[in-house]
Structure 1
Amino acid sequence: MRISPAHSVIGMTTSIMQRPALGPDEHPATHRRTRNLAATVARFSARHRATAIFGWLLFVVAATVLSAAIGTIAAKDSDYGNGESRRADKLIEAAGFPDRAGEMVIVRSDTLTADAPEFQGAVREAVTAVEGTGQVENVRADAVSEDGHAALVTFDMSGDADTAADRVQPVLDAVAGVQDRHPDLYVGQTGAASIDKAIMQGLEEDLTLLSMLSIPVTLGILIVAFGALLAAVLPLGLALTAFMASLGLLAAASRLFPTADSTTHLMLLMGLAVGVDYCLFYIRREREERAKGADPETALAIAAATSGRSILISAFTVIIAVAGMFLTDDTAFISLATGTILVVATAALGSLTVLPALLSKLGDRVDLGRIPGLYRRESNGRFWRLVLKVVLRRPGVSAAFAAAALVALATPALGMRTASDGADGFKHDKPALIAYDEVSAAFPGGADPGVVVVKATDVTSPRMTAAIDAFKTTALATGKLHEPVTVEVSPDKTVARISLGLSGSGTDAASEDAVHVLRDKVIPATVLSVDGAEVAVTGEAAQSVDFNKALTGSVPLVFAFVLGLAFLLLLVSFRSVVVAATAIVLNLLSVAAAYGALVLVFQEGMGENLLDFHARGAITSWIPLFLFVILFGLSMDYHVFVLSRIREGYDRGWPTKLAVSRGIRGTAGVITSAAVVMVAVFGLFTTGSMTSMKEMGFGLAVAVLIDATIVRAVLLPSVMAMLGDRNWYLPKWLGWLPNLSHR
């Protein structure tokens, strides 16, 4: 087989090892061979272009077909939960209670009371209307609010609860008809099925908006970054195909790890972010070498051996960080980890295989569609050159100011409070969620009740019946637990399910306090005093309490896993204890600062109107740990790229300060472009209706912005400048570590 010059050059590029002082512009493609997996893969792709390109397309198509053929298994309600609330859910499931979707209609008046004829007529009409749909059962109209101005009609959707949201529209229409006939009253429906329907509609609208905005926004940024249409399209095309392929892999993985609702949203976000970034690293390095006078083959070879290797290390770092979520043993975290790992691995695979094949085929034609005024092969980075000049002139002062700013921003995180989002986690602009607020106001906790599960030999025995009656009286006397109180008995009479209202919104501190009163005072004094009784509490508030408790126990393990493995990876990659430790500390600072900003905005409510949400006095329970692992991985993405360039210069024999200066200046343009893409993509998630998605997008965007500016442009160079040659300290007993090429 005939080997082209491009293949030979790439082969030589993989042979770079440490050696004495190369000239500042000398290319390393003429030195002896060493192991470089990224360059080896690129060499194969360049040699077998058709195989690499069509192989990638076949992979994407096959994965997409697989997803359509087998479907993705969604996590069920019984897959979620922790601690006592999960035990309660299992008891309910095992007892054979019909799986129903509970609904309610509230009738309220500011002037009339529930005994007024018009009011009673509206209640009767509501009962008749919902029964007339043929979709409901167990209709009851026996709850009146304490002020007498509101009444509830409660009922269950017949049939499978999992499909109730698809069948609830006729009932909603019937209730809307009652409202139309009684304009002087408020008549609204809410409940499990109607809220699920409203939320799914909201999520579909959000996803449609994100799809419409994310692609053109990303493409616009790339056009500005590259100044050429084809060069801008390549990263976006690779990111989108990687996302499509990873969805197919997720369908297969869902057989082992059921998929949570937010997983595909996160995969789209991460796929665009890292997929575009990896291509930026590769293409911009190839352009930089061309600007220095290298021919297309040599430029691609150097990019393969340097940026390609950085992509490989970055992807491994992100995957290691995200894998820490498996240690939580939580369905939602495991699903998010699975999706993120799949999309990051797929994006890295495409960047290391099909991208060099395409660049080898295109050569300088990758710059087709040049835009006058925007096109340039090499970014001059004037702004960052000026910043870096100031920083390196006074590294101690610069580091102190930057660290102080990050610590000040991180301080609010000390008061972070977490809670489940529940119905409060969505924008309440749809009828079912507006009705939810009305029910919550008139019947505290009635819209999202606590559920007490009592298991005994016979829950209808005189002694247990008396204990349940005492439970009702004691609970209502606390002032934290409220009507309506309902009791349902399983078919075999061994389990009773008691529902009652809790103070608060269902997810706030008042609701959590009500759960503790229920568990610690009311239950022990009543139903638990019966010999042989087993009692457990569930519901939104109880699940939030148990989730936080479980998370508190697993967080240290996750942190130790992520930090430990990241340290080892950096140690092996850069053969330096100091570089690895510095990177860990700086990344922890940027994550802490992002936490502080998150608390200021979403917990304290700064910027409510701007971001269009209602502060609940808490952060969504899963967000902090999720942000830690994702942000740690993404922060390392930049650090690995910058450190690789710095180490590359040091290996050429440059003094550390010169290597730092040139390394950061050389990466300023690509990192700025990559950060702008990430911030823009993450920022789009703040436009959605889910508060948790806003928190996720905001936290990721702020952290990337901090990391790409304060940390990368000020803290990193100032700290490394102060440390000098001590940056590269490696104990003698670690001398056996492999000496990997950075050139």
Structure 2
Amino acid sequence: MHAPVICAALGRSCARWRWPVLGAWLVLIAAGLFLGGQVFDRLTTTGSLRPDAESQLADRRSDQLQPEGPLVIAVVGGRDVYDQALVDDVTTVTGELREMDGVTEVEDLYGAAGGRIGADNRSSLIRIELERGLPDDRRERVEDAVAGALHRIDAPEVLVGGEKLAERAFADQAIADAALGESVAIVVLLVVLVLILGGFVAGLIPLAAALATVSVTLLGLFGLTTLTGVSEFTVNVVTLLGIGLAVDYALLVIARFREERDADPDAPVAELVARTTATAGRTVLISGLAVATAMLGLYAFAEPLLGAMALGGAVAVLLATLAGLTAVPALIAAAHRRIPATGDATRVLAFRRPSASASAAGTAPGLLARLAVFAQGRPAPVALAVTAGLLVLSLPFVFAVNLENSDARALPAGAEARKLQEVVQRDFSGGQAEPIVVVVDADPADAPVRDFMNALNTLDGVLRIQPRPDIAAPAAIIDVTPEDETAGQTSRDVVRAIRAMDPPFPVLVGGAAAELVDYRDSVANRFPIALVVIVLATAVLLFVLTGSLVIPVKALLMNALTLLATLGVLVVVFQWGIGDALFGFDSWGAIDLTTPVLLFVFVFGLSMDYEVFLLARIKEEWDRRSLSQTPASDHAVRAGIEKSGPVVTAAALCIGVVFLGFLLGDLTAVKEIGFAMAVALLLDVTVVRGLLLPALMSLLGEWNWWAPAPLRKLHERWFA
């Protein structure tokens, strides 16, 4: 049975059994709201590296050799550090902390060795170590008690933080950003949908599909937390992705239903829905499979954060597809009398600018159709100009990108954890890089170990080395301070140089610079696997849709151009800080190292979404003209874009609203994703799909539809 027949049968069944279908979705939504709502209590801080990465092994071995509990760091500043009243105040508070249950050690300037004065001579550092192995809820209560006591110190500035406190601040900010972004996006989205579809009830259908997708996705994430760690960042991205795709698919189905109803207004609604899903439903299915495959391609990178994002994203996409194939047809059948005719709302949907002749004919070309006419009139210059322009936009990423791990610098400028990190780095670390941690499993008194240390000290880029005292086992931990900043090229070169040494004893290299090296190497090594997964799946699905081998290759190349151009713009705005005032962030001179990987998947997936929308109608027009023995490729492309372009434009506007919701939050890494996706949508829907696609199809002509004879027969038998 052919795919269109299956989709038609599914649509007919959902229309006839609309109330049981909607009832089933209501049960799923209720379960999602009840159990899925609990997912926020089970979120964890998910690491960006696999446990078997060398830097992670080094950290665990270092912790075995020199056990240390979680740290809380405080900087007390703004007063003379030897002011007697301040000395008494700090001494009183640190005395309380030493007696506090859950605290093992307190170091300050006055009561213990190791106290430090800042470079400004008006600040001092307090270091509090907590017990090892405290359960998370117990540790958080101790941290809060410690922070509360420290904030009682009477000084103009008391900053309290630490790794775990920064992680909590990041998590709290991510949840707050998600709540703000999603709530604003949904309100704005409803207004846009009502305007696009010409009625309140019609506008509610895509939104209902989106809310159903998100609630059931949360249920899926709840189940996922039993298998792996799920972070707040994962929930942010996955839920907004689900909203955007569900709205896209609902708009496509509604637009096609109105066309079918306009063509045959007396047909039963179940039959109209069946005709709709035979075409638009097939498009939704292929698009959903393409985007879900792109999400699973993310899983090939095998890092914990990306793995959770991949699985959660695939769940969201598949649920959006299921909603588009079942819930939306059922909603249309239930509310079809409240969905305005095409003529009542088409002008908004198509973003039209009617000309005199078009108005007389009752139609007007949409934005993409007008761009397509322009591109087809001069295909070679347009194709060259667009390709060159996109490549120019990509240059900042290709030649100047700086990828680093997000830390407290990704928090808002006013966040206490971020301010503390900046003060400690400036006033107590002298701006030097964090040490590279070298763990040696051999007696440091042996000659080979001493020779190894001497070799470390003479490596290019090494400022100094410092063995740690009091390591009980026959082992050594050596802090190697590089000359460059922590994530700089010199620091990474030092890590690689140490790992390239071949001493006659086990050595592990860890620290922040080593983690960055491990992540980059992991992504580079696994990128070909992810690329093969996405390319093969995309090629197969586009072949199923079009019967061509040329179109998949062209689509992949256009998607690559969109991605590279988007990343180039991202570097200019976020790394170089060109848009910091406009978008409300403080540039930290880098891009979060997970962002390009996520964008690789998301941009490819969503670009395929609109590619499928357009190609499905272009293929319909090509087949129709082939049957009438007038297979003019240019006319088929123009007609297909004119019919599907309004839906693509409206869908891009809606999903753009959703992703712009990311910009309302305060986390820089989240802003990067939202901004980049909005840029990608803008470039893809206008420049790439509006100009490059029709220009290339005009240049290729009938070669667009080429496939070897055996594959062509296979397509005609099973997929046509």
Residues 202 and 560 of structure 1: is their aligned pair in 2 closer, same or farther, counting only changes over 3 Å? Answer: same
Partner residue in 2 for 1:130:
97
| Distance (Å, rounded) in 1 between the aligned partners of 2:259 and 2:171 | 47
1:39 aligns with 2:12: no
**1:207: Cα distance to partner?**
2.1
Show the counterpart of 2:384. Answer: 400
Cα distance change of structure 1 residues 360 and 473 upon mapping to structure 2, 3 Å threshold: closer
Letter in 1 for 2:705: W
Name 1:638's counterpart in structure 2. 610
CA distance in 2, matches of 1:399, 1:226: 34
Could you tell me which amino acid in structure 2 is paired with residue 414 of structure 1? V
Q: Give the whole-Å Cα distance in 1 for the aligned partners of 2:373 and 2:344.
A: 31
Partner residue in 2 for 1:58 = 27
Residue matched to 2:714? 737
C-alpha distance in 2 between matches for 1:102 and 1:318 = 42
- Which SS does the other structure have where 1:428 is aligned? coil
Say which of 624, 632, 635 aligns to 1:658.
635
Q: SS at the partner of 2:152?
A: helix
**Alpha carbons of structure 1 residues 470 and 388: separation in structure 2 relative to 1, 3 Å:** closer
Whole-Å Cα distance in 2 between the matches of residues 96 and 623 of structure 1? 35
The one-letter code matched in structure 2 to 1:694 is K
Q: Percent identity?
A: 27
What is the correspondence of 1:608-627 to structure 2 with a 5 Å cutoff?
608-627=580-599
Distance 1:300 1:43, change over 3 A: closer
Amino acid at match of 2:144: Q
Q: Distance in 2 between matches of 1:547 and 1:169?
A: 32
Structure 1, unpaired ranges of 5+: 1-14, 16-32
3-state DSSP of counterpart to 1:429: coil
Question: Aligned-pair distance for 1:642?
Answer: 0.5
- Between the aligned partners of 2:33 and 2:540, the Cα distance in structure 1 is 36
Q: Return the alpha-carbon distance in structure 2 between the equivalents of residues 523 and 689 of structure 1.
A: 41
Q: How much is the aligned-residue C-alpha RMSD, in angstroms?
A: 3.7
Distance 1:584 1:38 in 2: 27
Partner SS, residue 177 of structure 1? coil
Residues 735 and 592 of structure 1, relative CA distance in 2, 3 Å threshold: same
Aligned residue among 111, 123, 139 for 2:106? 139
Q: Is the contact between residue 450 and residue 542 of structure 1 (CA under 8 Å) also seen in structure 2?
A: no
Select between 205-214 and 146-155 the one with higher mean Cα deviation. 146-155
CA positional deviation for 1:120: 5.0
Tell me, in whole angstroms, the C-alpha distance in 1 between the residues paired with 2:478 and 2:297.
38
Provide the C-alpha distance between the structure 2 equivalents of 1:42 and 1:522, rounded to a whole number of angstroms: 60
The residue that corresponds to 2:374 in the other structure is 390
Q: 1:375 to 1:582 in 2, by over 3 A?
A: closer
Deviation, 1:306, is: 0.9
Structure 2 distance, partners of 1:741, 1:698, is 41
SS at match of 1:735: helix
Aligned partner of 2:671 in structure 1 is 694
**Where does the alignment leave 5 or more consecutive residues of structure 2 unmatched?**
109-113, 353-363, 626-630
Aligned partners of 2:150 and 2:433: how far apart in 1? 20
Provide TM-score, normalisation by structure 1: 0.84
- Taking a change above 3 Å as real, the CA distance of residues 316 and 451 of structure 1, as seen in their structure-2 partners, is same
Is 1:234 aligned to 2:205, yes or no? yes
**Aligned ranges 1:119-268 → 2 under 5 Å:** 121=88, 124-125=91-92, 127-128=94-95, 130-131=97-98, 133-141=100-108, 142-145=114-117, 147=119, 149=121, 150-158=123-131, 160=134, 162-163=136-137, 164-178=139-153, 181-183=154-156, 186-268=157-239
AA aligned to 2:332 is L
Q: 1:661 Cα deviation (Å)?
A: 1.0
The separation in 2 between residues aligned to 1:76 and 1:330, in whole angstroms, is 9
In 1, the alpha carbon distance for the partners of 2:45 and 2:196 equals: 40
Q: Specify which of 678, 682, 691 is matched with residue 705 of structure 1.
A: 682
SS of aligned partner of 1:652 = helix
Q: Structure 1 residues 265 and 282, CA, compared in 2 at 3 Å: closer, same or farther?
A: same
* Counterpart mapping for 1:304-383 below 5 A: 304-367=277-340, 380-383=364-367
1:86 to 41, 45, 56: 56
Deviations 1:237-259 (A, max 9, x none): 11111111112122223333432
Give the partner amino acid of 2:428: F
Give the superposition deviation at 1:66: 4.7
Query: Paired residue for 1:437?
Result: 422
Instruction: Evaluate the alpha carbon distance shift between residue 362 and residue 632 of structure 1 in structure 2; reply closer, same or farther with a 3 A threshold.
Output: same
- Taking the aligned partners of 2:586 and 2:465, their CA distance within structure 1 comes to 25
CA distance in 1, matches of 2:212, 2:324: 11
Quick one: structure 1 residues 523 and 602, their matched pair in 2 at CA, closer, same or farther if it must change by over 3 Å? same
Moved more, 429-438 or 296-305: 296-305
Larger deviation, residues 660-669 vs 377-386: 377-386
Residues 122 and 516 of structure 1, relative CA distance in 2, 3 Å threshold = farther
Counterparts of 1:194-593 in structure 2 under 5 Å? 194-295=165-266, 297=269, 298-367=271-340, 380-415=364-399, 416-444=401-429, 449-450=434-435, 452=437, 454=439, 456=441, 480=463, 489=471, 493=473, 506=486, 508-509=487-488, 513-514=490-491, 516-517=493-494, 520=497, 532=505, 534-593=506-565
- How far 1:79 moved relative to its partner? 7.0
Once residues 704 and 568 of structure 1 are traced to their aligned partners in structure 2, the CA distance between those partners, rounded to angstroms, is 24
2:356 counterpart residue number: none
- 1:477/1:713 Cα in 2 relative to 1: closer, same or farther (>3 Å)? closer
The equivalent of 2:72 in structure 1 is 103
The question of whether the paired residues in 1 share the 8 Å contact of 2:4 and 2:282 is answered with no
